[in-house]
Structure 1
Amino acid sequence: MVLDVFFTVFPLLQLKDGNMKADLEAALPAGREDFAIQCRDVCRSYGKLKVLNNLNLTVPQGQIYGLLGPSGCGKTTLLKCIVGTLKISRGHITVLGKPPAFPGHDVPGKMVGYMPQELALYNEFTIGDTLTFFGRIHGLTRKETKARMDFLIDFLDLPQKTSLVRNLSGGQRRRVSLGAALLQNPELLILDEPTVGVDPVLRSKIWQHLVEIVRTGKVSVIITTHYIEEARQANVVGLMRNGCLLAEGPPDAVMKQHSATTLEHAFLQLCETSDQNGSKRGSSPPGGPLENSQSFESGKDESRPILAVGAGAAEEVPKYSADWKVRARHFLPKWRNIAALMIKTMVRMKRLPGSLCFQFLLPVIQVSLICLCVGGDPKGIQVAVVNNETSPTAYSQSLLSFLDNTSVQQVHLSHEEAFDGIYNAEYWGVIGFGKNFTSYLTKRMIQRQVSREVVDGGSVHVWLDFTSKMQKPFLYLNTDFTTFVTPGAVLSITFYLAVGLTALSFVLERKEGLLDRCWVAGVSSLETMLAHLFSQLFVISVQIILLLLFILLVFKMPNEGSLVLVIILIVLQGVTGISFGLVISSAIDDEQSANQAALGIFYPNLIISGIIWPVECIPYPLRYLSLALPQTYASEALRCIMYRGWGLSRMMVWRGFAVTLGWNTFFLILATVILKLRT
């Protein structure tokens, strides 16, 4: 082995003066180009929990490195640090010559093939869709993607490329995930538990392929596995426990060093030695030679493997620099990635036609319910009538004939029956006429002065049931309330349906490992944001068209202004809703909390944004909050456009556009920053 020239296995757990001490028997060569990965004094913490503890690791170029260790020892965290999706707390990592995520360096990117521990596949995709998606991100041509796809489907013994991922077995899905990692022929291949759930024949075939690509393609491979003996096929193994590397070297040399017949036995001996030395440290008296309380903080912990350069010289961390043009290209979004992500979203929509149709029809249903059920005249109100006049030519009969019979259903009863009915909630009110109503009313109209008896006898007496009163009695209802509510309701529906489209986007993808896989493929948080925004624009555009058709043509809402301004303002509100949904999705990890956040903001915003009641009626402490919300000025602007015919020259109109654009920009920046910080 080439590796034997550079490495001999080193006992990392030798006891010297009561301390664990790491030692390398052979020095590493000075040429950094001989190593695919170098990790030096790497630390990674989650709060107070140290996951990686002064870890040193070296992966030779063109070798298979088997990383072994129990669940929870930090293997997956280390791999994420290597590919650049997690930042280390301290130390230095070099991957293929430069630090991960260095400007102009395609790590993360096409130089790395990554298979996460999760399946990290889109269930709505076919096998062909999955490989095509990653081919687009890596910049492969259609011809290259097709050639690699045909090879991988045959090599991994996969079903037809038109098979949906959700219909595959667990083992088949894992093979598709492996195929996505192998697709672009990467220089570095990182496989996290690739052979779990795979039958022994295919497992052997995968290892043969890894050996082949390492030998012929100068590819370096890191593979983690629970099958310890399986790792004997690797050129180098690293035994990891509690965030530290216990040993690193060729498998046979590790077993020989510990007089073990199997790699598992050698690992067991290393773990026992580690536990024994750890307990000795813990029982050391304060101030004694075994005390090492400062070792972690000082970076001089002797329990870590130290790789010397030369004869005991400290390894110097190189400095890297990049041209400003390279840095600019690194931070600017790549339209190739945005297009790939947009196509991915469109394909997923296409595979869920029922959900897509529901999204299109839901706003139409909601605005129809508002126009039909809010602000109209009451219908079928039963009112008791007590008419003590019997003549068909009496004025009381004429007045009753003018009442709208669609709104009021007259029930003629005696005085006693009428009041019994209203007390029993059978009628909404009682209308009463005296027996001399006609003569008394005539006197009131003719004579200048009349007695109180004449005034009372010539009046219509009305008793109403006010237990369900919401505003004035029905006789005084304002039928324009629907007209007032509709513009704000359209904006509110557009905004919150857009929130619903995106509030769970990153939550689900993060949970399934899809986001991590995209990050490793070289997709940035800004590209992800823009792709989601542009993809959902299609959905909200269809929703807005259907909304306007219904409110203008079906319900005959007036529009005295520019239809173009109306459409632009509603679209901007939809985009703002998408941006707000992305903020929720970026900041929250579980579906229940994301749903609660989206729903919890709905009613306060609806109530105090001037949508269902004028802002002027809101008390002053809350009015300031109301004016700061995204839909308050926008609702006012839409009413001014539709009902007054105003344009952008009016402050009340352009102010609504300006506030909407401001909130949209703020939400997009906030979502991008949160997603960047969390990755």
Structure 2
Amino acid sequence: MEICTICDHLWVKITNNLPKYVPVIRKQLRIPQPIRASPCRPSVALSAAQIQSPVQCSLLLLLAAAAMAAEASGRKDATITGPADSTELREQLMTEGNMKKDLEASLPAAQDSFAIRCRDVCRSYGKLKVLTNLNLTVPQGQIYGLLGPSGCGKTTLLKCIVGTLKISRGHITVLGKPPAFPGHEVPGKMVGYMPQDLALYNEFTISDTLTFFGRIHGLTSKETQVRMNFLIDFLNLPQKNSLVRNLSGGQRRRVSLGAALLQNPELLILDEPTVGVDPVLRAKIWQHLVEIVKTGKVSVIITTHYIEEARQANMVGLMRNGHLLAEGPPDAVMKQHSATTLEHAFLQLCESSDQNSTQESSSESETLEKSQMFANGRDESQPILAVGPPPVEDVPKCTADWKVRARHILPKGRNIRALFIKTMVRMKRMPGSLCFQFLLPVIQISLICLCVGGDPKGIKVAVVNNDSYPPSSSFSQSLLTFLDNSSVIQVPLPHKEAFEGVHKGEYWGVIGFGQNFTNYLTKRILQRQVSKEVIDGGSVHVWLDLTNRQIGLMLQKQLHQAFQAFVDYKMGALAYLAALPIKFEEPIYGSLDMDFTTYVTPGAVLSISFYLAVGLTALSFVLERKEGLLDRCWVAGVSSMETMLAHLFSQLFVISVQIILMLLFVLLVFKMPNEGSLFLVICLIVLQGVTGISFGLVISAGIDDEQSANQAALGIFYPNLILSGIIWPVECIPYPLRYLSLALPQTYASESLRCIMYRGWGMSEMMVWRGFAVTLGWNTFFLILATVILKLRT
């Protein structure tokens, strides 16, 4: 027997085995006079397995199988007289409380016959407490109606029961074991879950939807087909080939209910299943629920806003502000509060709960002093309250060997296969989107090859030619003929107008020849000693607008090449006399005519493969979570690792097609050189795509909305593009940033791809295998990080 002092949140607990004491002491420990209830004093609760003598108290409760069996008042004019033994007292209380039939019909005798048991459950989101010391019991083979207003914590409680949310404190047992216990199929095949959201794939047909969940639950094709035919007929669904997106709201909700009923689960959890359903079908659903629980093997917990609808349940729990106000058979709850409707009883419980909360807050300052007085042996008369956490022994102890734990951790092939087929079916139902995904990288790499790195064309340059020689024999006119007319457009102008045109932005420079250019240039070539006047008059004077450096460099290159061609033409065998004493031999790697496009293309291919994979994975994952599809899959027994692997394999198919199309255009259409192994080229690009998928999983695991996911993906695009040596050499980056550049996933990979394509190197070279090693390292890191984030968030 226990004597407890309840001091708001403080317990002073004295445990005594009264039968061991002499009768005098036992009499002193009991309360001989009626106890007066007072909100300003601590309360006393006495518990005993047997009652052998009368006890006068304010309230006497009889508990059976973790639920209240009877309640009787201990008023002065209605003192309970103790019968000969506890059995007679049980019969007397159950008769007086008028609850015997309801108790026998609703409460099982053994603890193992409970489907769900929640003990002292708490769940918080930061500082927000959603569930507070909640105790709930769902008997096996019965329908339990969970009632409560929106925001009271019903959906959170259901997610904790099915194992998709972890509780902050307390214990939950579902079908004999805690949720997510190794080897326990909760979440999994043993539970059927219909979330409040529809959580259906709009691109699926009814047949696709039920087949998908059948694969996850391990049903054979024949079993799935039999159940599908029954559910379509029972739920009055349209043809099984009807697309979900074309169904009405009520039809979609029935499809969602069918997915929960598909595998004949032992536990059925339905969150608002009858919203938007016509009364005839609602009655039919309740009739079916009553029929499946008659076997005693199926238990149902159902939430609903229709309070009177819950009278069809065997038991109801009235929930408010994160805890249960009452739990029991519907008729018993109404009789206990003298209510004619369940809604009226709920209203009384809410009002009583508000009053108790006010009284408890007003007496908080005195409870500690009173509890100390009682603990010191003072005779204080206080009300008795049956309040307190359940004993720890009430929670079953479960263990699993290492083999069961290993099977629980390792991904299941059937789940990965089901998720992979699901993604492929969705792609097939969106051909426009799929074609866009395939063509987008081809368009991007084509634009890069066509628009980046080439020489400028059609550059206007003003020419001031004051050479006095006739045009047919002047060196100035002959030199101008060697300029590439497609790149440089020559506009003859007087000196003043030419410079005014440059100042106005009409021309990119001025090329000027002196009056005696031909004579002075001849003297410079033939005479050993010449004056400064001859040197200046025999030179080509160029004034450039270098605000665009690429155009300025191109003009300088064109003028040098034109002059060298002019000298070769005029001097013939003696051209070497006017040439620079520097001779560029045949390049060891590459060719003299390689342009900037050749440098950019390998890094661009890797970048496109990486970032398209990031965007596709991040958005698809985020959208599935937002629509509740991921939660439903996890309740069906799919793990986060299986989800990621399925996404990896399905997106790998997409990026493989993208890479093949890109390489066809790069190598065949734009004639980019490839001196190395095509196999190594494909492997490195595919690895970069897989790394992009892994990074997309990290983004989607940590972010819940599309806008933030897009911002995260785009936010790292330009820094990575600039620092990875894709558009400009890493050697140009200052050293503090160069260390960061070398740590990025694409820096060494871009260098490795250039070495394979342009130098013909293989895996024996460090600059090649280093790119593969860094890519694999980042891929592994991203996968582990995504798994950890998903595990923590689920």
**Range of TM-score over shorter length:** over 0.9
| 1:525 matches 2:640 | yes
Q: Which amino acid aligns with 2:609?
A: T
| 1:495 matches 2:495 | no
| 1:329 matches 2:407 | yes
> Which of 251, 254, 260 is matched with 1:181 structurally?
260
| Contact 2:609/2:688 (<8 A) preserved | yes
Alpha-carbon distance in 1 for matches of 2:167, 2:551: 63
Could you report, residue by residue, the CA deviation over 1:573-615 in whole angstroms, capped at 9, with x for unpaired residues?
0000000000000001111111100000000000011111111
> Which of 362, 368, 388 is matched with 2:440 structurally?
362
Range that drifts further, 449-458 or 25-34: 25-34
Give the corresponding residue for 1:345: 423
Give the corresponding residue for 1:125: 204
Aligned pairs for 1:136-155 within 5 A: 136-155=215-234
Aligned to 2:319, what secondary structure does the other structure show? strand
Alpha-carbon distance in 2 for matches of 1:328, 1:267: 47
Q: Which amino acid aligns with 1:382?
A: K
- 1:214 is displaced (CA, Å) by 0.9
Could you report, residue by residue, the CA deviation over 1:371-412 in whole angstroms, capped at 9, with x for unpaired residues?
111111110111111112343221111111111011011111
Give the corresponding residue for 1:91: 170
| 1:403 matches 2:483 | yes
TM-score, with length taken from structure 2: 0.80
Give the corresponding residue for 1:298: none
CA gap of 1:84–1:291, structure 2 versus 1, over 3 A, is farther
| Contact 1:113/1:182 (<8 A) preserved | yes
Give the corresponding residue for 1:33: 112
Alpha-carbon distance in 2 for matches of 1:270, 1:668: 50
- 1:124 is displaced (CA, Å) by 1.0
Of all paired residues, the percent bearing the same amino acid is 83
Give the corresponding residue for 1:420: 500
| Contact 2:118/2:173 (<8 A) preserved | yes
Could you report, residue by residue, the CA deviation over 1:208-234 in whole angstroms, capped at 9, with x for unpaired residues?
111111113621000000000000000
Give the corresponding residue for 1:624: 739
Higher relative contact order (Cα pairs below 8 Å, separated by 6+ residues): 1
Alpha-carbon distance in 2 for matches of 1:548, 1:227: 61
Q: Which amino acid aligns with 2:280?
A: V
Give the corresponding residue for 2:554: 474
| Contact 2:232/2:238 (<8 A) preserved | yes
- 1:457 is displaced (CA, Å) by 1.3
Alpha-carbon distance in 2 for matches of 1:491, 1:87: 40
Range that drifts further, 120-129 or 281-290: 281-290
* Aligned positions, number: 653
Q: Which amino acid aligns with 1:238?
A: G
| Contact 1:108/1:522 (<8 A) preserved | yes
After TM superposition, which residue ranges in structure 1, 4 or more long, deviate above 4 angstroms? Answer: 14-17, 19-24, 289-292, 302-308, 476-479
Aligned to 1:125, what secondary structure does the other structure show? coil
Q: Which amino acid aligns with 1:336?
A: R
Give the corresponding residue for 2:449: 371
> Which of 775, 779, 782 is matched with 1:660 structurally?
775
Aligned to 1:207, what secondary structure does the other structure show? helix
| Contact 1:509/1:515 (<8 A) preserved | yes
Alpha-carbon distance in 1 for matches of 2:777, 2:291: 56
> Which of 731, 750, 758 is matched with 1:635 structurally?
750
Aligned pairs for 1:154-553 within 5 A: 154-216=233-295, 218-284=297-363, 286-288=365-367, 315-389=393-467, 390-470=470-550, 473-476=553-556, 480-553=595-668
Could you report, residue by residue, the CA deviation over 1:42-79 in whole angstroms, capped at 9, with x for unpaired residues?
11111122211111111111000000011111111111
| Contact 1:375/1:479 (<8 A) preserved | no
Alpha-carbon distance in 2 for matches of 1:365, 1:24: 77
The structure that has the greater radius of gyration is: 2
Q: Which amino acid aligns with 2:233?
A: D
Q: Which amino acid aligns with 1:405?
A: N
Could you report, residue by residue, the CA deviation over 1:440-467 in whole angstroms, capped at 9, with x for unpaired residues?
1101100111111111111111111122
Could you report, residue by residue, the CA deviation over 1:264-311 in whole angstroms, capped at 9, with x for unpaired residues?
00000000000011111122251247999xxxxxxxxx9997697xxx
Q: Which amino acid aligns with 1:577?
A: G
Alpha-carbon distance in 1 for matches of 2:347, 2:181: 38
Q: Which amino acid aligns with 2:481?
A: S
Q: CA RMSD in A?
A: 2.0
Alpha-carbon distance in 2 for matches of 1:453, 1:168: 91
Aligned to 1:559, what secondary structure does the other structure show? coil
Aligned to 1:287, what secondary structure does the other structure show? helix
| 1:79 matches 2:158 | yes
TM-score, with length taken from structure 1: 0.93
| Contact 1:225/1:231 (<8 A) preserved | yes
| Contact 1:281/1:290 (<8 A) preserved | no
Alpha-carbon distance in 2 for matches of 1:68, 1:15: 34
| Contact 2:272/2:305 (<8 A) preserved | yes
Could you report, residue by residue, the CA deviation over 1:67-97 in whole angstroms, capped at 9, with x for unpaired residues?
0011111111111111111111111111111
Q: Which amino acid aligns with 2:752?
A: A
Could you report, residue by residue, the CA deviation over 1:297-334 in whole angstroms, capped at 9, with x for unpaired residues?
xxxxx9997697xxxx8743221111211111011000
Alpha-carbon distance in 1 for matches of 2:231, 2:146: 25
Range that drifts further, 593-602 or 29-38: 29-38
